[in-house]
């Protein structure tokens, strides 16, 4: 028995070394950890239960070169909560995927979904290994299965791109609920070398799939960070807002921040003049618990802010227009950003808070080329299908179709209120007066005075008091009472079923 145990220990010690000391040192020289080091740093101390440590490649001759088949996975705890963790190791075949690797990955993900455990992927890798994927049998065994694609957001899927990633790690990251990319890495379908061989195109890894591309243009990552440690911290921070699975509500946290706290600062943050910009993020941080706001996709679709926060300890999703960018007018990227965020929040029972200051959509030929009419309506469809509690505050302007997209009355909001500074109309005063009265003003003997009077009248018609008088909106509130209103309204909106939704958006595509 002792001899057998000693042999087992030798095999496991060898497996722990993965690709060997030289390759580990090479990974460290790049400023990156190995897969085992990432797992050790990421999970709670002593909690990791590894599965498949003694795996190796099933390709003849590769058995001794492929400890764990380059893939570390198992069960663990993160901040005291049970999860599944998986990590590909660069020191074994450049973290490319072999058949045993893929078989193990599919099994552990299936277990996670069936048992309601969130999935964390600490990712890098070169995609499918050529020998494992060649031939009709190899490729048939390697591609995604229907069951894996019908995940239905039953558990949170959180991905970190921590090294150059092609193929599998990319597919997983763009399908995840939350994706972080470490700066200096590349995320793409195939690497630059394969691209050059297949198409003749020569391009650097940064240009092909660097963090700037995905953070600013594609929106395929939620956050970019400087190193592995920051990546793992961001993944944990996002997880703190998530339930373990779709059967639960997000965890409520005790707070000493008074839910009825008066917001005297808002008087100085938000200008009365509708054409003066201000930073909506400052207003959000004043409203939420302890000023903590976890923003998603901050560099993508910047005229719309999306992120997670808490109100009286309850997790909420906040969607707000940003007057600092195109006066808050939403374009195609903002539409995609909104759709993805609504799907996320509705699938994981996170109430939505809308803060309106939007002059309409960013229209023009470029927007039409990017299908903005379709995107506007899909945003509205997502909103219409969402069943989590929803609260709307019209801070300043809310104009035209954008009023609907920001959850106006009739779009499923539990409560819609306005500040006295609000202007609600089909279009803004200047545009409206020019379109409706342009010819009249052209022929007027005193056009300047008449325009002034028409603008005054148009402003009156846009006043929130008319909508409030006919009960199209629920109330006009003192801006300083915004936090109090939201905390009270949220409590009542969640009185019967908590923040549970019907999850009608859980099967919508995970990327836009």
Beta-bridge partners for 160? 122, 180
Spatial distance between the Cα atoms of 442 and 117, rounded to a whole number of angstroms:
67
Three-state DSSP class for residue 446: coil
Look at strands 390-399 and 423-425 and give their pairing. Answer: parallel
Spatial neighbors of 185 by CB under 8 A, at least 6 apart, are 124, 161, 162, 163, 164, 165, 205, 210, 211
Contact 336, 382 (CB under 8 A): no
Q: C-alpha 219: how far from its chain's center?
A: 9
Dmax of the chain from CA atoms?
107
Spatial distance between the Cα atoms of 394 and 40, rounded to a whole number of angstroms:
47
Q: Taking the CA atoms of the chain, what radius of gyration do you get in angstroms?
A: 26
Indicate the domain borders of the chain.
2-239, 266-422+463-493, 427-462
Look at strands 314-321 and 415-418 and give their pairing. Answer: unpaired
Q: What are all long-range contacts of 222-226, with beta carbons under 8 Å and residues at least 24 apart?
A: 222/178, 222/179, 222/180, 222/296, 222/297, 223/180, 223/181, 223/296, 223/298, 224/180, 224/181, 224/182, 224/183, 224/299, 225/180, 225/181, 225/182, 225/183, 226/182, 226/183
Spatial distance between the Cα atoms of 245 and 487, rounded to a whole number of angstroms:
25
Options 1.10.260.40, 3.40.50.920, 3.40.50.2000, 3.90.226.10; CATH for 2-239 is 3.90.226.10
DSSP character for 145? Answer: P
Domains 2-239 and 266-422+463-493 share a fold: yes
> What Cα–Cα distance (Å) separates residue 104 from each residue in 36, 58, 74, 89, 392?
16, 13, 10, 14, 46
Nearest to 222 by CA among 180, 188, 258, 257: 180
Looking at residue 325, its pLDDT comes to 95
Per run of 10 residues, the mean pLDDT along the chain (length 512 residues) is: 93 90 91 94 96 90 88 96 96 87 91 97 84 71 67 94 93 95 94 83 92 96 97 98 97 96 96 90 98 98 98 98 94 96 98 96 87 93 96 94 92 96 81 74 81 76 89 96 98 94 92 65
Three-state DSSP class for residue 87: strand
Q: Tokens 């498949």 sit at which residue?
A: 52
Instruction: Give the end-to-end CA distance of the chain in Å, rounded to a whole number.
Output: 57
Answering whether pTM is above 0.75, one says yes
Express each pLDDT in 210-228 by its tens digit.
999 999 999 999 999 999 9
Checking phi first, is residue 110 left (phi over 0); if not, alpha (psi -120 to 50) or beta?
Answer: alpha
Checking phi first, is residue 444 left (phi over 0); if not, alpha (psi -120 to 50) or beta?
Answer: beta
What CATH fold (topology level) applies to the domain 266-422+463-493?
A: 2-enoyl-CoA Hydratase; Chain A, domain 1 (3.90.226)
Helices (H) and strands (E) in the chain, counts: 22, 16
């Amino acid at each position: 028995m002792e001899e057998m145990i000693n042999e087992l220990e030798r095999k496991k010690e060898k497996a722990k070394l993965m690709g060997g000391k030289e390759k580990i040192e090479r990974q460290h020289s790049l400023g990156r950890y190995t897969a085992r080091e990432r797992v050790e740093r990421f999970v709670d101390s002593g909690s990791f239960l590894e599965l498949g440590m003694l795996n190796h490649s099933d390709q003849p001759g590769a058995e001794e070169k492929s400890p764990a088949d380059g893939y570390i996975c198992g069960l663990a705890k993160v901040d005291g909560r049970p999860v599944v963790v998986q990590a590909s190791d660069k020191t074994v075949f450049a973290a490319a995927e072999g058949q045993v690797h893929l078989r193990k990955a599919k099994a552990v993900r299936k277990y996670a979904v069936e048992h309601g455990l969130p999935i964390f992927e600490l990712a890098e890798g070169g995609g499918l290994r050529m020998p494992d994927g060649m031939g009709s049998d190899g490729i048939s065994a390697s591609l995604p299965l229907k069951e894996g694609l019908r995940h239905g957001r039953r558990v949170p899927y959180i991905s970190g791109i921590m090294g150059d990633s092609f193929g599998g790690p990319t597919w997983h990251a763009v399908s995840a609920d939350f994706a972080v990319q470490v700066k200096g890495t590349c995320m793409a379908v195939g690497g630059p070398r394969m691209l050059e061989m297949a198409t003749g195109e020569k391009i650097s890894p940064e240009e092909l799939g660097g963090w700037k591309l995905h953070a600013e243009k594609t929106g395929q990552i939620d956050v970019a960070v400087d190193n592995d440690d920051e990546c793992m911290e961001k993944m944990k921070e996002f997880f703190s807002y998530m339930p373990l699975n779709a059967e639960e509500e997000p965890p409520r946290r005790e707070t000493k921040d008074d839910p009825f706290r008066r917001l005297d600062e808002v008087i100085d943050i938000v200008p009365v003049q509708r054409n003066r910009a201000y930073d909506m993020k400052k207003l959000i941080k004043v409203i939420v618990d302890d000023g903590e706001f976890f923003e998603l996709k901050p560099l993508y679709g910047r005229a719309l802010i999306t992120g997670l926060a808490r109100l009286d300890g309850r997790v909420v999703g906040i969607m707000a227009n940003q007057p600092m960018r195109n006066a808050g007018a939403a374009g195609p990227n903002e539409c995609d950003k909104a759709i993805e965020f609504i799907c996320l929040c509705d699938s994981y029972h996170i109430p939505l808070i809308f803060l309106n200051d939007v002059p309409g959509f960013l229209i023009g030929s470029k927007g039409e080329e990017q299908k903005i009419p379709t995107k506007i309506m899909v945003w509205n469809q997502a909103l219409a299908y969402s069943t989590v509690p929803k609260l709307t505050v019209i801070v300043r302007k809310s104009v035209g179709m954008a009023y609907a997209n920001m959850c106006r009355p009739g779009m499923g909001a539990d409560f819609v209120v306005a500040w006295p500074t609000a202007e609600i109309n089909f279009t803004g005063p200047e545009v409206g007066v020019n379109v409706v009265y342009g010819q009249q003003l052209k022929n007027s003997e005193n056009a300047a005075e008449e325009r002034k009077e028409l603008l005054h009248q148009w402003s009156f018609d846009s006043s929130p008091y008319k909508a409030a008088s006919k009960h199209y909106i629920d109330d006009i509130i003192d801006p300083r009472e915004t936090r109090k209103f939201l905390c009270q309204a949220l409590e009542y909106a969640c009185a019967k079923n908590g923040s549970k939704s019907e999850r009608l958006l859980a099967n919508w595509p995970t990327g836009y």
